[in-house]
Chains A and B, each alone.
Chain A
Amino acid sequence: MREKAENIAARIPNLVLRANKIAESILTGLHSKKKVGPGETFWQFKKYEHGDPAQLIDWRRTAKTNEIFIQERELETVQNITLWRDTSASMHYSSKINIDKKIDRANLIVMALSIILSKTGENISLNGHKQKPLRGKAATDFISDQIYKNIKNSYIDNPNFIDIKNNSHVIIISDFLNPITKIEESLKILANKNIHGCFVHIFDPSEHSLPFKGRVNFNSLEDNSSILIGNVESIKKEYVRKINNHYKKLKDLISSHSWQYISHTTISLPEEAVKNLFLSLNQQNKLNI
């Protein structure tokens, strides 16, 4: 028991550490393209024009020149970003020991993203918790805490869409193995609320290619059902066709609602996914960066 608990506990700082690393690499990458200086709210200096509120005048800047400058802040367009990752049993799977489990990868992406977003000053909420959207360090602390608790305690399987505010940006991370119709339903609800977002589809490489041979008894992670296959190779083709069909349907569905779709296998680098995700967020909304 204790050993197990320690193991799990050891994973948390590890997760945060890895997430930090990823976030840093992305942030520095972004900053090299932008202007110097962090400045959370500072956007640009602007010549004073009539009508501008006097308290906006940046006196230091004004003193350097003859003209009067006001400090123009960014438009108050702080995004509510809601993160949700699938914690169902099927996520707890990796086909090989040296490959991350899908849930681990999902957690990592959530964590890294939340770090980045907290730095850019977004309101972040982890869906499924009755907690107001948080900003900054409070957000990352809360999320890492929740991830830790989720590992320890029960899972929150389904996104709670009612809690999601309108105009939120939603990031859904899952393996999307449930039937397409169910996904479509939830997508519709969100679309009705005028919510946009991104689907991050995580899958294990084995799920895509079925690399098994011979006589295999396949067990479900969700329930106790199992299927015995006498010769796996013989059904491989059919399976691949079937699952690709599922993926295609999923993609079509998502793009038809003009959501973003990012697919991510657990063997590729997590940075990639986080970066793509971040860029897609940038595309859709003007973030404060």
Chain B
Amino acid sequence: MSFFSSLSLISPSALWALVAIPVLWFVLKMYPPSPKNIFFPPIQFLNNLGKKEETSSSTPIWLLIYRILIILIIIFAFANPVYNPTQFFSKNGPFIILVDNGWPTSVNWEKRKNKIFEFIDIADQKNLPVILVPTTKKDISSDKIELMSPVDARSKLETLSPNPWPSELDYVNKILSRLPLDQNYNLVWLWDGINHDTQEKYQRLVYRLNDLGTLKIINYLNDLSTKVISNVKRTRDDILNVEIIRSLGTIEENIYIRALGANGEILVRKKTLFNLGNRKTKIDIQLPSKIMNELSYLKIENVNSAGSIYLLDEKWKKRNVGIFGDKSLFRTQPLLSPIYYLDRALKPFSEIKLGELKNLINKNISVIFLPGIGKIDNENTNNLKKWISKGGILVRFASPNLMASNNDLLPVTLRTSNSRSLGGALSWEKPAQIKSFNKESPFYGIKIQNDIFIRNQVIAEPSPVLASRTWASLEDGTPLVTALKIEKGWNILFHVTANADWSNLPLSGTFVEILEKIISLSFSSNRSLNSEILPPYRLLDGFGRLTDPYPYSAPINLDEEKISITYSNSPGFYGNDLYRRAINLGKYIKNLEPLVVTFPEKVSYENTIPDKSLYLKSWLMIISLILIFLDHFLSLLIRGRLKINKIPFSKILKINTILLLIFTTCLSNNDIYADDKLSSLQPQLGYIETNNIEIDRISQEGLRTLGKVLETRTSILLGPPKKINITKDSISFLPLIYWPISSDSKTISEQSLLKIKNYIENGGLLVFDTRDANPSSIVKNEVTDEQKILKEILRPFDLPALIPIPGDHVLRRSFYLLNEFPGRWTGEKLWVEATAENSRDGVSSIIIGRHDWAAAWAKINNKPIFVVVPGGEKQREYSYRFGINLVMYAMTGNYKADQVHIKSILRRLQNLNFNEGQKGSETPEHEMDSYTKKAINERFREIEDEENAK
């Protein structure tokens, strides 16, 4: 029982072959072993002797059984049995499976899950009830103990997923305390090896579990160190300083950090290194400030957990700022218009929208400037009030007509009399300067330029609250900027105009800083704004994807000193669509360290995968081979041919070698098909079969003709092109695959995706051709079907960033020196991988273009099939040159990037340029772009210098 229960079949379908055994029985019975044929002259003397022996010459029954046994063994071997002895269960109590499903487990959750399934299978075999205990608390109702049948446990496990918060020991203890103590439990703890609490608590838990029954702790699934982005700081306007920590410091590790936009597009990808012994690393990510605004989160590449993601909220972004003012003035005499000054001052750090007030309010804008606007109509006033209370910031500026307006939407009451002017013709006072900001003011810390003079201002009515509402004042104490908080928002008033009429403040750098400060209030980390409780808005799930809040998610109070990440406060965005704050897991991980626990003697701790499972296929095959070998002897024995001194070894060996060959091919896992052999012996170009026969034919002919051209011009000898059905055919031996996209191309299956990924990983080259750069679609300038389909196909790939082919790309000089890559069409960009630091020596494995190259290459009977436009035969020649470069690139990789060649290439290029200048006839249409020219000249000079130095 114990042997068979731990035996499992990987491909049980092979057992269907057992059906054939009765047939075999018959066949073997009907055809006894063939007799030896001997010529014998005195045959007549045997005439009457043999008859009585004849009947007994059929196969003996024991031999028959023996042979059936061999076949049974072979069939069984093909069912691929695995013997997996588990000496685990020593006790017959319920089976408790503790599953850590906190955020670190998501990285290899499937593996963990499968492991648990295995345990449940064991429980099933032993007929034990299962208690599945996830160690993360999900909601209040979940902390009860449930004895489940293995079947129920499986379905529960199916729904179990990692949570974006850490495991909670208190919760586990609470559950365990509900267990009746009179049982002998089997305990398995699939832990994540991370200390989420204190080491002592874990130690206590281990002891406690050990007391409950037999405990087994599985650690080998934590072989990868857990990595978390723990903090991000903006050290400069365009630099983010990212801090990454990991749980284990035992190896040197390279990781990539991706900065991603809102839709998941990669903005920047940077490598950083964990030094040996270091658990922390830092990296500066620089982004142009324009792009910085698009940045929405940072991610550690290839790690999908809540900790590997660092969400960036509005605080990191440029704000949407609205300006409502007299647009006509802005257009006709911009220098007089206040909008102009605001626009200039706000531009570096905000997204400015000009428009009607009504529209601005509805447009998800957080700060609205109202320069030179006096009266606001009632409807807008109400709207603005609502908007402010939701968190909007209204900034108004003084103007002559402000005086006439009501005092609604002003932080302070203004004197009804006219504004005062300083230093004017009729004034005896000098223009005033701004007093340095006091500590209560949000402007505190901003340096005031001493050439700022305020000549004119509106004066606030003195009142007890005036001082507290003043953020900036002049040296004589009169307010310059006042502000009033209305619920979540602010109403701010500048007591001067936004243009240079009343002061030169709008011309100064101080003005910009003040405005920046104001805008930063809208997402402020300023403590005065923090006393708020935000509802969950979009939360991360265990795999680091943003989803809707869980039913048990609770609002978060950012005010609290200590926020702990639990089921109710999981990482993600809190707030609403207008204003949201990111709560990042990494920030709240105090100490990412591995667990250090001493185990009581009885505990079995599995740190490496205990692969006790025995794959029996090969052994069974060997046994059957031996049995077949024996069978030969037996049958020879029966036929009387077996002479002890002269065993016909050669014959037996011959048969057995054939058998051995068959068997070894059966045993080898990577089946290489005959087709592949061809392509491994002679390189072939491949093309992906489309649903369109015509396209396939063009690809076939195109690649064939290209092969011929290669043969005549280079030393590459290619076999006939191979048509690839991506789901069925193996592609591993092809150096290059041409992938024409047609409007009816289908997306690819998961399996073929894996195949292609593998192909790329191992240095293959995929050339995608959307074939749509024909003049009509270029003119239309819209996204064609083919492009959409290509996008669809490429979506599941983990594509590195693609860039238009740079001027110094190897593809431009792998055989011919090329500036353009024309096919049947020309003029479009060719996209390659941004090859900065990939594992394949900087060789791009994907090339995407639109030129329909195969059509340009294709010739039948030495006559081209298609006309190439617009360049005619010259363009076709260039398309062949491109094809040759392409194949060379696929074959030699970055060989031509080698600096050895650069000198002669540069010489040639210079000569070429020189000739062009002189004659203007060589290749006028392929003029080099300035970038390349410059790069070449620079490089050339460097080399000359080096040589001179020598």
* Cβ B57 vs Cβ A218 within 8 A: no
B55 in contact (CB, < 8 A): yes
Binding site for A on B (CB under 8 A): 32-33, 35-47, 49-50, 53-57, 637-642
- Residues of the A chain whose Cβ atoms lie less than 8 Å from the Cβ of B53: 229-231, 234-235
Interface residues of A in 225-282 (CB under 8 A from B): 225-235, 238-239, 242-243, 246
Residue of A nearest to B44 (CB): A177
A129 in contact (CB, < 8 A): no
Q: List 27 A-B contacts (CB under 8 A).
A: A91-B41, A93-B39, A102-B41, A214-B35, A214-B641, A215-B640, A216-B35, A216-B38, A216-B639, A218-B40, A220-B40, A221-B39, A221-B41, A222-B41, A226-B43, A228-B35, A229-B53, A230-B50, A231-B640, A233-B640, A234-B53, A235-B49, A235-B50, A238-B49, A239-B46, A242-B45, A243-B45
- Residues of the A chain whose Cβ atoms lie less than 8 Å from the Cβ of B37: 216-217, 219
Contacts A214-B639, A227-B46, A235-B49 given: A219-B40 contact, CB under 8 Å? Answer: yes
Compute how far the CA of A102 lies from the CA of B32 in the bound complex, rounded to whole angstroms: 34
* Cβ B49 vs Cβ A246 within 8 A: no
A122 in contact (CB, < 8 A): no
Residue in contact with A227 in the complex, picked from B41, B50, B56, B637, CB distance below 8 Å: B50
- Residues of the A chain whose Cβ atoms lie less than 8 Å from the Cβ of B637: 214
- Residues of the A chain whose Cβ atoms lie less than 8 Å from the Cβ of B54: 228-230
Residue in contact with A90 in the complex, picked from B32, B36, B41, B639, CB distance below 8 Å: B41
- Residues of the A chain whose Cβ atoms lie less than 8 Å from the Cβ of B639: 214-216
Compute how far the CA of A207 lies from the CA of B41 in the bound complex, rounded to whole angstroms: 8
Compute how far the CA of A234 lies from the CA of B32 in the bound complex, rounded to whole angstroms: 19
A204 in contact (CB, < 8 A): yes
Shortest beta-carbon distance from B742 to chain A in Å: 61
Compute how far the CA of A233 lies from the CA of B35 in the bound complex, rounded to whole angstroms: 14
Contacts A235-B49, A235-B50 given: A216-B36 contact, CB under 8 Å? Answer: yes
Shortest beta-carbon distance from B60 to chain A in Å: 11
Compute how far the CA of A204 lies from the CA of B55 in the bound complex, rounded to whole angstroms: 30
* Cβ B641 vs Cβ A228 within 8 A: no
Compute how far the CA of A233 lies from the CA of B637 in the bound complex, rounded to whole angstroms: 13
In the A-B complex, list the 5 residue pairs whose CB atoms are closest, starting with the nearest: A214-B640, A213-B640, A230-B53, A230-B57, A90-B41
Report which residue of B46, B637, B638, B642 has the largest number of chain A beta carbons within 10 angstroms of its beta carbon. Answer: B46
Known: A214-B36, A216-B639, A238-B49. 11 other contacts (CB 8 A): A90-B41, A91-B41, A206-B40, A215-B57, A215-B640, A216-B35, A218-B46, A219-B43, A220-B39, A229-B50, A233-B640
Residue in contact with B638 in the complex, picked from A215, A218, A233, A239, CB distance below 8 Å: A215
Compute how far the CA of A206 lies from the CA of B46 in the bound complex, rounded to whole angstroms: 13
Contacts A214-B638, A215-B35, A217-B35 given: A93-B41 contact, CB under 8 Å? Answer: yes
Interface string of A57-76 (1 = CB under 8 A from B): 00000000000000000000
Shortest beta-carbon distance from B738 to chain A in Å: 54
* Cβ A217 vs Cβ B49 within 8 A: no
Contacts A227-B47, A230-B55, A230-B57 given: A213-B641 contact, CB under 8 Å? Answer: yes
- Residues of the B chain whose Cβ atoms lie less than 8 Å from the Cβ of A232: 640
Compute how far the CA of A218 lies from the CA of B55 in the bound complex, rounded to whole angstroms: 16
Compute how far the CA of A63 lies from the CA of B36 in the bound complex, rounded to whole angstroms: 79
* Cβ A231 vs Cβ B39 within 8 A: no
* Cβ A227 vs Cβ B43 within 8 A: yes
Compute how far the CA of A193 lies from the CA of B916 in the bound complex, rounded to whole angstroms: 120
Residue of B nearest to A246 (CB): B45
Contacts A204-B41, A220-B43 given: A229-B56 contact, CB under 8 Å? Answer: no
- Residues of the A chain whose Cβ atoms lie less than 8 Å from the Cβ of B641: 213-214
* Cβ B50 vs Cβ A228 within 8 A: yes
- Residues of the A chain whose Cβ atoms lie less than 8 Å from the Cβ of B42: 90, 177, 207, 243
* Cβ B41 vs Cβ A177 within 8 A: yes
- Residues of the B chain whose Cβ atoms lie less than 8 Å from the Cβ of A243: 42, 45
A104 in contact (CB, < 8 A): no
Report which residue of A93, A206, A213, A239 has the largest number of chain B beta carbons within 10 angstroms of its beta carbon. Answer: A213
A212 in contact (CB, < 8 A): yes
Shortest beta-carbon distance from A233 to chain B in Å: 7
Compute how far the CA of A230 lies from the CA of B44 in the bound complex, rounded to whole angstroms: 17
Compute how far the CA of A242 lies from the CA of B638 in the bound complex, rounded to whole angstroms: 26
Residue of B nearest to A235 (CB): B49
Interface string of A90-106 (1 = CB under 8 A from B): 11010000000010000
Compute how far the CA of A228 lies from the CA of B44 in the bound complex, rounded to whole angstroms: 12
* Cβ B43 vs Cβ A215 within 8 A: no
- Residues of the A chain whose Cβ atoms lie less than 8 Å from the Cβ of B39: 93, 218-221
Shortest beta-carbon distance from A174 to chain B in Å: 11
Compute how far the CA of A235 lies from the CA of B48 in the bound complex, rounded to whole angstroms: 10
Contacts A228-B57, A235-B53 given: A218-B640 contact, CB under 8 Å? Answer: no
Compute how far the CA of A228 lies from the CA of B50 in the bound complex, rounded to whole angstroms: 7
- Residues of the A chain whose Cβ atoms lie less than 8 Å from the Cβ of B50: 227-230, 235
- Residues of the B chain whose Cβ atoms lie less than 8 Å from the Cβ of A207: 40-42
Residue in contact with A212 in the complex, picked from B45, B56, B640, B642, CB distance below 8 Å: B640
- Residues of the A chain whose Cβ atoms lie less than 8 Å from the Cβ of B638: 214-215
- Residues of the A chain whose Cβ atoms lie less than 8 Å from the Cβ of B55: 230
Compute how far the CA of A231 lies from the CA of B33 in the bound complex, rounded to whole angstroms: 13
Compute how far the CA of A215 lies from the CA of B49 in the bound complex, rounded to whole angstroms: 14
Compute how far the CA of A178 lies from the CA of B269 in the bound complex, rounded to whole angstroms: 100
Compute how far the CA of A170 lies from the CA of B425 in the bound complex, rounded to whole angstroms: 170
Residue in contact with B41 in the complex, picked from A175, A225, A226, A229, CB distance below 8 Å: A175
Residue of B nearest to A237 (CB): B49
Compute how far the CA of A277 lies from the CA of B41 in the bound complex, rounded to whole angstroms: 25
Residue of B nearest to A232 (CB): B640
Compute how far the CA of A206 lies from the CA of B43 in the bound complex, rounded to whole angstroms: 12
* Cβ B45 vs Cβ A229 within 8 A: no
Shortest beta-carbon distance from B427 to chain A in Å: 133
- Residues of the A chain whose Cβ atoms lie less than 8 Å from the Cβ of B43: 218-220, 225-227
Shortest beta-carbon distance from B642 to chain A in Å: 8
- Residues of the B chain whose Cβ atoms lie less than 8 Å from the Cβ of A220: 39-41, 43
Residue of A nearest to B37 (CB): A217
Report which residue of A177, A206, A214, A226 has the largest number of chain B beta carbons within 10 angstroms of its beta carbon. Answer: A214
Compute how far the CA of A147 lies from the CA of B640 in the bound complex, rounded to whole angstroms: 38
Shortest beta-carbon distance from A133 to chain B in Å: 31
Contacts A213-B640, A230-B57 given: A218-B45 contact, CB under 8 Å? Answer: no
Residue in contact with B49 in the complex, picked from A177, A219, A239, CB distance below 8 Å: A239
- Residues of the A chain whose Cβ atoms lie less than 8 Å from the Cβ of B36: 212, 214-217
Residue in contact with A219 in the complex, picked from B38, B47, B57, CB distance below 8 Å: B38
* Cβ A230 vs Cβ B38 within 8 A: no
Interface string of A186-226 (1 = CB under 8 A from B): 00000000000000000010110000111111111110011
Compute how far the CA of A119 lies from the CA of B36 in the bound complex, rounded to whole angstroms: 48
Compute how far the CA of A223 lies from the CA of B863 in the bound complex, rounded to whole angstroms: 69
- Residues of the A chain whose Cβ atoms lie less than 8 Å from the Cβ of B33: 215
Residue in contact with B46 in the complex, picked from A213, A231, A235, A246, CB distance below 8 Å: A235
Shortest beta-carbon distance from A270 to chain B in Å: 19
Report which residue of B32, B38, B54, B639 has the largest number of chain A beta carbons within 10 angstroms of its beta carbon. Answer: B38
